[in-house]
Structure 1
Amino acid sequence: MGVSTGTYFQAGLALALIVGLLAATAWLARKVSGGKGFGQGGMKVVGGVALGPRERIVLLEVGNEWLVIGIVPGQIRTLHRLEKGTLSDGALPASADKPFAQWLHGIANRQSHE
């Protein structure tokens, strides 16, 4: 007793219908959210550095500001705010030869001397 060709055809159509419904739902969700991906909302991760296995410092671009965020288990804190585009020389790496960690070290030293 074998499976007929019609059964394979019906299963293929059902699978195509399900995949089509998923694609249509994803397209509709993207249109409803204004074309932005979920969770984007005008926020962009510029860089980050791991301080330990569960501690990180992240540089976020939010609108016209850069935020230095400290992340530890159970807590997220804003460490520093910078106005986008109004940085002094050497305040933010202009290229890959000065990594985020060196920039962060420079900010920390500058604040401790103030």
Structure 2
Amino acid sequence: MKKLAVLPVLLCLLPAMAYAADSAPTPATSAFKMTLGLMVVLAVMAVLAWLVKRFSPGSRQQNSVARVVGGVSVGTRERVVVVEVAGRWIVVGVAPGHVSALANLDPDEALLSQPASDTPAPPFAGWLKRASEKFNAK
């Protein structure tokens, strides 16, 4: 942070250094001054962007009560989503304008169970298959 405190002092001294040069500018000194000015402007913009990103009020990560564990699309605009709330998994059906709870289960129970097939499927896929079979049996 101490290095940033020197920046305004240097910015104030730049015009004085420019006027201290020869009164007859050459093309090389003009190009140098232009390049130096451009670099200063870009540096100031970068510092301002960093400060805005660092200290903006909405940039902090908010702790949410719910966390999306997984989901699968079951139609063009319909999805089945698993949401974790307070250590429980809630299976939710989501459609345009409608959300309905399908099941409420313990995460340990869903992760430990495997489908009865030769190729092991991900835990969520196996649970979803069993849950849909149980739901269709009713």
Q: TM-score range by the shorter chain?
A: 0.5 to 0.7
Counterpart selection for 2:128 from 104, 107, 112: 104
1:85 has 2:108 as partner: yes
CA distance in 2, matches of 1:87, 1:4: 65
Amino acid across the alignment from 2:87: N
Mapping for residues 29-48 of structure 1, pairs under 5 Å? 29-30=59-60, 37-38=61-62, 40-48=63-71
Aligned length: 104
CA distance in 2, matches of 1:28, 1:44: 19
1:13 has 2:43 as partner: yes
Which structure's relative contact order is higher, taking Cα pairs within 8 Å and 6+ residues apart?
A: 1
Amino acid across the alignment from 1:106: R
The structure with more helix, counted as a fraction of residues: 2
- What is the aligned-residue identity percentage? 27
SS at match of 1:41: coil
Q: CA deviation at 1:20?
A: 2.1
The structure with more strand, counted as a fraction of residues: 1
CA distance in 1, matches of 2:53, 2:40: 20
Counterpart selection for 1:59 from 82, 99, 112: 82
Normalised to the residue count of structure 1, the TM-score between the two structures is 0.66
Is the radius of gyration larger for structure 1 or structure 2? 2
Name stretches of at least 5 consecutive residues in structure 1 with no aligned partner. Answer: 31-36
Structure 1 stretches of 4+ moved >3 Å = 26-29, 86-92, 99-102, 111-114
Normalised to the residue count of structure 2, the TM-score between the two structures is 0.56
CA distance in 1, matches of 2:64, 2:78: 24
Name stretches of at least 5 consecutive residues in structure 2 with no aligned partner. Answer: 1-29
Q: CA deviation at 1:98?
A: 2.1
